[in-house]
C-alpha cells in the first residue's frame, strides 16, 4: 500500500513519519520549492501530545523546552494572575522551534526506505495510482479544485512573532497577557531565549520599533539584551466544510486553523494524526485497502470534535476581545474566581491537554 502526501510542511512530514513507522510507503509531493523554515516561529505541544509524539512518531526531548507553569494575566487586573495552570511541578507544555522539528523529521525520513520525496506536477492524473492521497497544501491545484468550501473568519488582527534574548534565568513559566490591544504570549525556549507572539487589533503605526516598545512595556521578568527580527501574519480561523473528496483527504492547516492565543493549532493536527493513524493501522492489520473509507471514518470521528474545539478557542478570543473593550474588571474577576476552583481549573487543563473532556 502506498500513501501520497501533497505538500512538504511540518504537518506533512510529521504525518509521513508516523506512517512510515508502520511500514507504510509514503511519497511526499510538492508543487513549489520548499520555503526555508522561519527560525523565529515556535510551536507549543501539550503533555499528552508530546508523549504520543515521542512514542509513535519520533523522540523530540532533545529539542523541546519543558514548561512547568502557564500563567494568564489581564490588563484589567494589572499584575494579578487571572489563571494559573500547573501540575505539581511536572511538565505541562513543551515549546519547540519549528525549524528544529522540521530538520529532525526531514533527516529521519531521508534515511527511511519507505519514504520518497518527489517534485510535483499540475497534472492530477498521477494521483490515481495511490490508495490514499492526503493534501496539506492550501495553494495547490487539488485544493483549488476540491477544497474551496470553508467556514472562514478574519480577525482583523496581525500576529507579530519574534524571539527575545535575555540574561540567563530559570525559565520554565510561560505567560499570556490579555492586553488592551491584543493577547501577548511569552513562551520560554531556553534559559536565555523566549519566543514572543503578539496578536494585535488594528494597531496604528505598525512598525518594528512600536512592537519592540510594546514587548518591553509588558515584559515583567526578563532583562532583555536583544529583540530578534520580527515576522508577521494576518490572523484568521478556518474549517473546511468537507474533509475529503473520494480518496483525497484534506489535512493540517488546510483542514483547520485557529487563533494562536491558546497555542493549539499544531496540537489539533497531532490529535488528527493520532485518529488517522488508528484508522489506517486497524485497516492495514486486517489486510483491508486504504481507500476513501479511511477518509469517511476520519471525518466521522474528527469533524465534530475539531469544530467544537475551534469554536471554543474562538469563544475565548471573543470573550477577551469584549473584556479588552471595557474599563471595568468584572469579566476578569469572574474568570479569576473560576480559575481558583480546583475542579474547574483541572477541567481547563484537561481540555488544553487533550482537546476533549473525556
First to last CA, the chain: 33
Tens digit of each residue's pLDDT (9 = 90 or more) over 147-190:
999 999 998 889 999 999 999 999 999 999 988 888 999 999 99
> CA angle at residue 144 from 143 to 150, to 5 degrees?
75
Q: Is 27 in a helix, a strand, or coil? A: strand
33: pLDDT strictly greater than 60: no
188: cell is 520560554
206: pLDDT strictly greater than 80: no
34: pLDDT strictly greater than 60: no
What is the model's pLDDT at position 101?
96
256-257 and 231-240 strand pairing = antiparallel
2-6 and 132-135 strand pairing = parallel
CA 235 to chain centre: 13
203: pLDDT strictly greater than 90: no
Tens digit of each residue's pLDDT (9 = 90 or more) over 39-57:
778 999 999 999 999 999 9
Please state whether 257 falls in left (phi above 0), alpha (psi between -120 and 50) or beta.
beta
What is the model's pLDDT at position 32?
61
Q: Phi/psi of residue 313, each to 5°?
A: -65, -40
Q: Phi/psi of residue 251, each to 5°?
A: -155, 160
Looking at per-residue pLDDT, the higher value among 77 and 206 belongs to: 77
Q: How far apart (Å, rounded) are the C-alpha atoms in residues 29 and 18? A: 17
Number of H helices, E strands in the chain: 9, 18
Looking at per-residue pLDDT, the higher value among 102 and 81 belongs to: 102
Average pLDDT over residues 330-341: 77
Share of the chain above pLDDT 70, in %: 93
In the chain, what are the domain boundaries?
Answer: 2-153+235-354
205: pLDDT strictly greater than 60: no
> For residue 292, which of 256, 243, 255, 241 has the smallest C-alpha distance?
243
CATH superfamily of the 2-153+235-354 domain: FAD/NAD(P)-binding domain (3.50.50.60)
Q: Is 255 in a helix, a strand, or coil? A: coil
pTM given for the model: 0.92
What is the model's pLDDT at position 328?
67
- Cβ(16)–Cβ(77) below 8 Å: no
333: pLDDT strictly greater than 90: no
Contact residues for 20 (Cβ-Cβ < 8 A; gap 6+): 26, 109, 112, 114, 115
- Which of these ranges, 32-36, 37-41, 114-118, has the smallest mean pLDDT? 32-36
354: pLDDT strictly greater than 90: no
Contact residues for 123 (Cβ-Cβ < 8 A; gap 6+): none
**Burial label, 181 (beta-carbon count in 10 A; 0-12, 13-18, 19+):** middle
- Cβ(259)–Cβ(319) below 8 Å: no
Q: In the predicted model, what is the mean pLDDT of the chain?
A: 89
83 pLDDT band (50/70/90 cuts)? Answer: confident
CA 100 to chain centre: 15
**DSSP per position, 135-178:** E--TTSHHHHHH---EEEEEEEEEEEEEEEEE------EEEEEE
- Cβ(153)–Cβ(124) below 8 Å: no
- Cβ(7)–Cβ(136) below 8 Å: yes
352: pLDDT strictly greater than 90: no
Highest mean pLDDT among 101-115, 302-316, 318-332: 101-115
- Cβ(275)–Cβ(298) below 8 Å: yes
Give the chain's radius of gyration (CA, Å).
21
Amino acid at each position: 500500500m502506498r500513501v501520497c502526501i501533497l505538500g512538504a510542511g511540518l504537518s506533512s512530514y510529521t504525518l509521513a513519519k508516523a506512517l512510515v513507522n508502520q511500514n507504510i510507503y509514503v511519497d511526499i509531493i510538492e508543487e513549489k520549492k520548499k520555503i526555508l523554515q522561519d527560525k523565529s516561529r515556535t510551536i507549543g505541544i501539550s503533555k499528552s501530545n508530546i508523549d504520543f509524539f515521542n512514542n509513535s512518531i519520533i523522540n523530540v526531548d532533545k529539542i523541546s523546552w519543558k514548561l512547568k507553569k502557564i500563567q494568564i494575566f489581564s490588563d484589567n487586573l494589572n499584575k494579578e494572575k487571572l489563571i494559573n495552570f500547573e501540575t505539581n511541578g511536572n511538565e505541562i507544555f513543551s515549546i519547540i522551534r519549528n525549524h528544529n522539528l522540521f530538520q529532525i523529521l526531514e533527516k529521519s525520513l531521508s534515511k527511511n526506505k519507505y519514504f520518497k520525496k518527489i517534485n510535483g506536477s499540475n497534472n492530477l492524473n498521477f494521483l490515481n495510482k495511490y490508495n490514499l492521497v492526503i493534501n496539506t497544501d492550501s495553494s495547490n491545484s487539488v485544493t483549488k479544485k476540491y477544497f474551496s468550501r470553508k467556514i472562514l473568519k478574519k480577525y482583523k488582527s496581525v500576529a507579530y512573532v519574534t524571539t527575545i534574548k535575555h540574561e540567563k534565568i530559570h525559565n520554565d513559566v510561560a505567560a499570556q497577557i490579555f492586553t488592551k490591544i491584543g493577547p501577548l504570549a511569552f513562551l520560554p525556549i531556553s534559559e536565555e531565549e523566549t519566543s514572543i507572539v503578539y496578536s494585535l487589533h488594528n494597531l496604528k503605526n505598525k512598525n518594528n520599533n512600536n512592537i519592540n516598545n510594546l514587548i518591553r512595556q509588558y515584559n515583567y521578568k526578563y532583562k532583555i539584551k536583544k529583540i530578534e527580527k520580527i515576522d508577521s501574519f494576518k490572523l484568521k480561523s478556518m474549517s473546511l466544510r468537507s474533509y475529503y473528496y473520494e480518496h483525497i483527504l484534506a489535512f493540517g492547516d488546510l483542514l483547520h486553523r485557529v487563533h494562536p492565543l491558546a497555542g493549539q493549532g499544531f496540537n489539533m493536527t497531532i490529535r488528527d494524526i493520532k485518529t488517522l493513524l488508528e484508522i489506517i493501522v486497524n485497516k492495514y492489520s486486517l489486510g483491508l485497502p486504504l481507500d476513501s473509507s479511511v477518509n469517511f471514518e476520519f471525518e466521522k470521528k474528527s469533524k465534530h470534535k475539531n469544530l467544537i474545539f475551534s469554536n471554543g478557542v474562538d469563544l475565548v478570543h471573543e470573550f477577551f476581545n469584549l473584556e479588552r473593550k471595557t474599563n471595568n474588571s468584572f469579566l476578569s474577576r469572574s474568570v479569576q474566581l473560576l480559575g481558583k476552583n480546583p475542579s474547574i481549573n483541572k477541567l481547563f487543563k484537561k481540555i488544553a491537554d487533550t482537546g476533549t473532556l473525556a
